[in-house]
Amino acid sequence: MSLDTLSKLSAVLDFDFKTDYHKFKEHSAEHVCSFMSENQYSIRQLAKVLNVSATTIKHWRGGVCAPSYLIWERFFKQGK
């Protein structure tokens, strides 16, 4: 996909494909906690759904690290 096409899609869908992941990443702990609460996931349940360890989920919730772009795109972006 060209940058021009990406820019047009961003404008039409009112979604900045180039920067929204970075905005998410800045506040990923809040987004992960909110996602878990809205979907009633425990740490272990979310870890199983995302195919990561429970420790990884704990790190995300604590702000130690953030979900990868692929996980953001498949799961957390859906709430937009």
Average the pLDDT over each of 12-16, 22-26, 46-50, 68-72 and give the range with the smallest value: 12-16
Residue 78: which pLDDT band, with cuts at 50, 70 and 90?
confident
Q: What is the pTM of this model?
A: 0.73
51: left (phi over 0), alpha (psi -120 to 50) or beta: left
User: What mean pLDDT value characterizes the chain?
Assistant: 84
Note the pLDDT tens digit of each residue in 19-29: 677 778 888 99
Check: CB of residue 71 under 8 Å from CB of residue 32.
Answer: no
**CB count in 10 Å sphere of residue 78:** 10
Residue 52: which pLDDT band, with cuts at 50, 70 and 90?
very high
